[in-house]
Structure 1
Amino acid sequence: MLTCPLCTAPLHNAANGVQCPAGHRFDRARQGYLNLLPVQHKNSRAPGDNQAMVEARRGFLDQGHYAPVARRLAELAAERQPANWLDIGCGEGYYTAQLAQALPRSTGYALDISREAVKRACRRAPQVTWLVASMARIPLPVGSCQLLTSVFSPLHWQEAQRLLSPGGGLLRVGPTRDHLLELRQRLYDEVREYTDDKHLALVPPGMALAHSETLTFKLKLIDPGSRAQLLAMTPHGWRASAERRAAVVDHPGPFGVTVSMRYDYFVAH
């Protein structure tokens, strides 16, 4: 079902990779993923999250701190039971693997622009087709997916709409204004306010919000390593001063922080 990122023609299996009728060929990495991000589509030499950010996120998530977020995502996806689904901006695959478990009879795809992330994600769910690709040029045909997911990831709304079959939906998960509030209060003199639903203004005609809910819970980060990982996997790890970051990591006793996520489900008409 994959399409060529250069000419949009169908891709077919070739020796250790895929190829389109025009002769554009893409190799499969030894880890199992396909790199469908041509060099002319890159904005930098190594786009997306680097190895340090990916490893920090993997270490933090594997400790189960965000397990309720993944569990609710999987529950909402299981209610849809799509034939084909795609996780956009899959990162190192923590949430994608939960989706694959919840949708065993569906065909799953996942992509991220970071090769370092996808390289590690492959190990989580080999039944998923893992892709290094751009979310602005997703190598799948028009109307080929019944479910798209986007967790903590930017979205190209028109591209998402192109991929959805009529009646299919996009499940978006993103932070609310309360997410990591205590952490932000420790890192900055002034905590920047933002609107939880500002993304609704970007939804294109032909897609409508069908469901919305918020999940909020408290984390108690006991060891300094978990706090350092949380900092490293967020923009706060480089926006805040080194002194403020060190104060969070070396905080005496448990460090309590709020996790607050908004789940929005948009249906294509």
Structure 2
Amino acid sequence: MLTCPICTAMLAKAENGMVCPSGHRFDRARQGYLNLLPVQHKNSRDPGDNLAMVEARRNFLNEGHYAPVATRLAELAAQHWPKRWLDIGCGEGYYTAKIAEALPRADGYALDISREAVKRACKRAPKVNWLVASMARVPLADASCQFLASVFSPLDWHEAMRLLSPGGGLMRVGPTREHLIELREQLYDEVREYVDDKHLLQVPDGMALAHSETLKFKIKLIDGPSRANLLAMTPHGWRASAERRTAVIEQAKPFVVTVSMRYDYFVRQP
């Protein structure tokens, strides 16, 4: 189901990689992923999250702070039993691995534009087809997927619609206005207002909202490294002043913050 990112022809297996009829060849990295991001599709030398951001997110997620978010995503994915699924913008694979556990018989794919992220994601679920690729030019055939996941990731709605077969669905997971509100109140003089459902205005004709729910809970960050990792994996790590970031990291008492996520499931209409 993979397509050539250069000419869009179907890719076939070749020794240690894939090749298209025109001879465009893509070798598999030793970690197990395929790099399907041609240099002409890059906006920078190493696009996507850098190593520091990837490591911060991996360390934070491995501590289990967002485990309920991943668990609920996996439960919702398991309700649909797709033959083939794709995690768009998979990062270092924390949520992807949970989906893979919930869908053991399905053919799973995951992509991110960050090579550093995908290199580490490969270790979480070796059976998933891991790809370094652009979310705006997903190297999969039209109507080849029955389930898409987009967790904290930018989304090209028309590309998502192209990938889904009729009746298939996209699960979008993103923050609500209450997400990390305590952190934002400490970092900024004025907290920017956020509209929870603004993404609904971007949904194209042919995609219909079939389900929506919100998951909300509190987490307690006791030590400085956990708070530092949370800052580093969010835009607040570079938006807020150094003084306020340091104050959050070094405060003596445990830091309790709200996690609030919205799950929206959109179905591709026939």
TM-score strictly above 0.5: yes
Calculate the TM-score normalised by the size of structure 1.
Answer: 1.00
After TM superposition, the structure 1 = structure 2 runs for residues 11-26 of structure 1, keeping only pairs within 5 Å, are: 11-26=11-26
1:38 match:
38
CA apart distance, 1:251:
1.0
Q: Does 1:143 align with 2:138?
A: no
CA distance in 2, matches of 1:73, 1:143: 22
After TM superposition, the structure 1 = structure 2 runs for residues 185-264 of structure 1, keeping only pairs within 5 Å, are: 185-264=185-264
Residue 149 of structure 2 aligns to a residue in which SS?
strand
CA apart distance, 1:41:
0.2
The C-alpha deviation readout for 1:227-251, integer Å capped at 9, x for no partner, is 0000000000000000000000001
User: Alignment length, in residue pairs?
Assistant: 269
Amino acid of the residue matched to residue 127 of structure 1? Answer: K
1:28 match:
28
CA apart distance, 1:252:
1.0
Is there any run of 5+ residues in structure 2 with no aligned partner, and where? Answer: none
Residue 251 of structure 2 aligns to a residue in which SS?
coil
Residue 196 of structure 1 aligns to a residue in which SS?
coil
The C-alpha deviation readout for 1:143-192, integer Å capped at 9, x for no partner, is 00000000000100000000000000000000000000000000000000
Across the aligned residues of Structure 1 and Structure 2, the Cα RMSD in angstroms comes to 0.4
Is there any run of 5+ residues in structure 1 with no aligned partner, and where? Answer: none
The C-alpha deviation readout for 1:9-59, integer Å capped at 9, x for no partner, is 111111211110000111110000000000000011100000000000000
Residue 225 of structure 2 aligns to a residue in which SS?
helix
- Kindly report structure 1 stretches of 4+ aligned residues shifted beyond 3 Å: none
CA distance in 2, matches of 1:263, 1:44: 32
CA distance in 2, matches of 1:58, 1:83: 28
After TM superposition, the structure 1 = structure 2 runs for residues 111-130 of structure 1, keeping only pairs within 5 Å, are: 111-130=111-130
Amino acid of the residue matched to residue 44 of structure 2? Answer: S
Residue 165 of structure 1 aligns to a residue in which SS?
strand
Amino acid of the residue matched to residue 153 of structure 1? Answer: S
CA apart distance, 1:87:
0.1
Q: Does 1:268 align with 2:268?
A: yes
Amino acid of the residue matched to residue 46 of structure 2? Answer: A
1:134 match:
134
Percent sequence identity over matched residues?
A: 78
Q: Does 1:88 align with 2:101?
A: no
Residue 228 of structure 2 aligns to a residue in which SS?
helix
The C-alpha deviation readout for 1:45-96, integer Å capped at 9, x for no partner, is 1000000000000000000000000000000000000000000000000000
1:168 match:
168
Amino acid of the residue matched to residue 103 of structure 1? Answer: L
Calculate the TM-score normalised by the size of structure 2.
Answer: 0.99
